[in-house]
Amino acid sequence: MSRQSRMLLLVRLTLAVLVASVGILTLGPFQGAEEHLGLTDKEAHAGAFFGITFLLLMALPRMRKWDVALISVALGGLVEVLQTIVGRDGDIMDFVADSAGVAMAAIPMMVETLRGRMRGGEPEGPRRRRSNSFIAPAPETGRGFR
């Protein structure tokens, strides 16, 4: 297994643990648990979705950044809908905080791509509507993990 493959596996495992943790904390009987960490509800939502989006962007290197951001926003909406089903408070402002966390993770990467194009660099790869696989392995370039 190459170093790049090991790093990708580590990122994906970390992502799985984070998504499971966020799912348990947002859907379980832990309402108000973020206050023990000194966070407001909105800060906790933004932080959680920053982390999820950041790790998703690294875990799915062949997927377009906008698609990853949309998946993260959809996940935030799904959490709020599921909270109303399990008897917790689904809140539109929590969804806004989730989306703010997504933006904080995705926008800097998108700006860096734009900077590369403005310098005359090539786009980051072939532009596709959909990847061949939802979880595609990182390309083997022999240059190590980026």
pLDDT tens per residue across span 66-121: 999 999 999 999 999 998 898 888 889 999 999 999 999 999 988 988 898 898 87
CB 90 within 8 A of CB 81: yes
CB contact at 8 A, 145 and 4: yes
d(CA 100, CA 94): 10
Instruction: Note the pTM of the prediction, 2 decimals.
Output: 0.75
Provide the pLDDT for residue 88: 82
Map out the domains of the chain as residue ranges. Answer: 3-29+46-118
